[in-house]
Amino acid sequence: MAGQIIKRGDKTWLVRIFTGRDAKGKRRYFNKTIHGTKRDAQKYLTAAQRDKDLGVFVEPAMLPLTDYLNKWLETVARARVRERTFEGYEWLLRRYVVPKLGARRLADVQALDVQTLYNDLLKNGISAKTIRNLHQVFSSALTQAVRWKMLAQNPCALVELPRRERKEMRCLSGEEVSRFLQMAREDKWFAAFLVAIETGMRPEEYLGLQWKDVDFERSVVTVRRALVWRKGGGFIFTEPKTARSRRSIPLSAPTLETLRKHRSKQAEERLKLGADYVNHNLIFATELGTPLLWRNLTRRHFKPLLKKTGLPDVRLYDLRHTCATLLLSAGENPKVVSERLGHASVTLTLDTYSHVLPTMQQGATEKLERMLFA
């Protein structure tokens, strides 16, 4: 018998569908309670049997959503992404999804539940960018549930996302960069700020640089790793963010000279500590030789320098944006800028720095005018 309908009460029916036998040969059934008429129950049974015959019937998973998300994180996400990305996935799901939907059974999560969750987050001040990032992770997790035949379809695929927010890029102008570097010249981490502005590296890239990455004869620095601080403490060196993030960037003569002086001071500190110095061969390291914490560099050095100079309260990461904006504004080829930044494509560069394009277009028009009407 492929299925049956059993009356359970007034307008309540139990639909039983035979799904096969277990390892011991015992018959297995999927049970579904239908509230309505017997015709409603028969309609459900007929549709389920059709899906079963077509091989697309999915026995809904009864485990709580929280348990499923933990399983997905450990068996799929952890093996697929880098540690820092994994921690971001875990935080997003446990911060926003689990408190609202975690107790529900996986099979009971509907598109309306997901839509309500996103709408409530937006009303409570969570940015559209964060919600879209959350959706990417949540949807990926539920897509895997469909592949594992724990869900018939992904409810995340049926929701509307908030519009992307276009935030104005924050960066320093050429004149402001000059003022900042003049003030920072006597700071211990002047070399780090100079490298950040000239190369456009991400903080985790220049803070992960080792002396072997600088070729003083060829005037080139090579990005080979990124410094990542673990959530529970400690640090690791990982591959750069993308394949194109592994790159070589030319350095100017003044920057190379600054690095030579920085290396000499570091060598003096190392001699004083002797065996107590933890040598990771890092260019930018603490007095003990250990890696710099991004937030300490920001709080103790970068922000005070901005304040002293009377400059806008930008982020340390915005030095990367500053590099790109200055180069594009000066008419540098976007492809060259993209390669310097380690972007996956020049399209990403142009999309990220679209605020510079009007100026570039004006410059192009002026060049054409000189050629056509001179």
Q: Which residues pair with 28 in a beta bridge?
A: 20
Based on the domain organization, do 113 and 25 belong to the same domain?
Answer: no
Confidence grade of residue 35 (pLDDT, cut at 50, 70, 90): confident
Based on the domain organization, do 50 and 116 belong to the same domain?
Answer: no
Q: Is residue 149 part of a domain?
A: yes
Q: Is residue 164 part of a domain?
A: no
Could you tell me the CATH number of the domain that includes residue 91?
1.10.150.130
Tell me, what's the pLDDT at 150? 83
Report in angstroms the alpha-carbon separations of 225 from 58, 228, 317. 44, 10, 17
Based on the domain organization, do 273 and 316 belong to the same domain?
Answer: yes
Q: Is residue 60 part of a domain?
A: no
Judged by average pLDDT, the poorest of 43-57, 113-127, 179-193, 336-350 is 43-57
Burial of residue 170 (CB within 10 Å: 0-12, 13-18, 19+) is middle
Based on the domain organization, do 139 and 221 belong to the same domain?
Answer: no
Judged by average pLDDT, the poorest of 92-96, 128-132, 238-242, 330-334 is 238-242
* Cβ(156)–Cβ(142) below 8 Å: yes
Tell me, what's the pLDDT at 154? 94
Q: Is residue 374 part of a domain?
A: no
With 70 as the cut, is the pLDDT of residue 160 above it?
Answer: yes
Residue pLDDT, tens place only, 357-370: 666 666 666 777 67
Q: First CA to last CA across the chain, in angstroms? A: 90
Query: Which domain covers residue 306, as residue numbers?
Result: 174-362
With 70 as the cut, is the pLDDT of residue 374 above it?
Answer: no
Q: Is residue 27 part of a domain?
A: yes
Confidence grade of residue 58 (pLDDT, cut at 50, 70, 90): low
Name, in order, each residue with C-beta under 8 angstroms of 97's C-beta and a sequence gap of 6 or more.
65, 69, 117, 134, 138
Q: What percent of the chain has pLDDT over 70?
A: 91
A 10 A CB-CB count for 88 gives 15
Q: Among residues 101, 127, 158, which one ends one of the domains?
A: 158
Beta strands 27-35 and 12-21 are antiparallel
Residue pLDDT, tens place only, 164-183: 876 667 899 999 999 999 99
Residue pLDDT, tens place only, 59-113: 556 789 999 999 999 999 998 888 888 989 999 999 999 999 999 989 889 999 9
Tell me, what's the pLDDT at 55? 59
Tell me, what's the pLDDT at 53? 64
Q: Is residue 335 part of a domain?
A: yes
Tell me, what's the pLDDT at 59? 54
What is the domain count for the chain?
3
Q: What region, left, alpha or beta, does residue 225 occupy, with left being phi > 0 and alpha being psi -120 to 50 degrees?
A: beta
Based on the domain organization, do 150 and 232 belong to the same domain?
Answer: no
Confidence grade of residue 44 (pLDDT, cut at 50, 70, 90): confident
Based on the domain organization, do 8 and 143 belong to the same domain?
Answer: no
Q: Say if pTM beats, i.e. exceeds, 0.85.
A: no
Q: Is residue 98 part of a domain?
A: yes
Based on the domain organization, do 231 and 299 belong to the same domain?
Answer: yes
Could you tell me the CATH number of the domain that includes residue 343?
1.10.443.10
Q: Among residues 97, 130, 158, which one ends one of the domains?
A: 158
Name, in order, each residue with C-beta under 8 angstroms of 142's C-beta and a sequence gap of 6 or more.
109, 151, 154, 155, 156
Based on the domain organization, do 71 and 37 belong to the same domain?
Answer: no
Q: What percent of the chain has pLDDT over 90?
A: 57
Based on the domain organization, do 180 and 150 belong to the same domain?
Answer: no
Tell me, what's the pLDDT at 54? 60
Q: Is residue 244 part of a domain?
A: yes
Mean per-residue pLDDT, 120-128: 94
Based on the domain organization, do 9 and 129 belong to the same domain?
Answer: no
Based on the domain organization, do 204 and 306 belong to the same domain?
Answer: yes
Based on the domain organization, do 200 and 343 belong to the same domain?
Answer: yes
